[in-house]
Amino acid sequence: MRKLLFVAVILFFLVACSNSSASETYCKVTRVLDGDTFHCVPDANITNAKVHKDGTVSIRMRGIDAPEKRQAYGMEAKESLKSLIEGKTVKLDIKDIDRYGRVVAYVFVFNMNVNLEQVKRGYAWAYTEFLDRPYASEFYSAEKEARSQRLGLWNEKSSMPPWEWRKLNRK
């Protein structure tokens, strides 16, 4: 009997811990800011997320880094994201809330991983520091394929990663 109770307690904690690290919610996209950030109205309260006056929250797409708007291919990356999600209801697989109060998530339209699609189109880097299983290998492969096909930003001979561009352009 004690063994059974012990196993039940362990299973309870495993399930509780696995569900606490991430959550899913749906969100109506209202504005695309750049190739990896947008605003949306969530269907439920997202704990610790900064809510704007218009009821929207900012979403930072997990595992990718797109060119900044003033950077080469920045506007193209923004337009690509707009074509995928603007005005649509998306599913968020929430992983974190960042220091700015933005929701950090994988974004889905139907069954399409939008984060991955931005990489496939050549409008974002696979952001190795912030990739999770099971997505990492898909993202690396997609970036490699986009590079080999010279899609989007990979059409440039030497594309500067956004994290380097931001360092150079800080005031």
Tokens of 62: 């997990």
* Whole-number Å distance between alpha carbons of 11 and 98: 30
Query: Which positions are annotated as active-site residues?
Result: 60, 68, 102
**Contacts of residue 3, Cβ cutoff 8 Å, sequence gap at least 6:** none
In 3D, which of 85, 77, 123 has the Cα closest to residue 106?
Answer: 85
**Distance between alpha carbon 153 and the CA centroid of its chain, in Å?**
18
Cβ atoms 20, 4 nearer than 8 A = no
In 3D, which of 18, 31, 21 has the Cα closest to residue 62?
Answer: 21
Q: Identify the three-state secondary structure at position 66.
A: coil
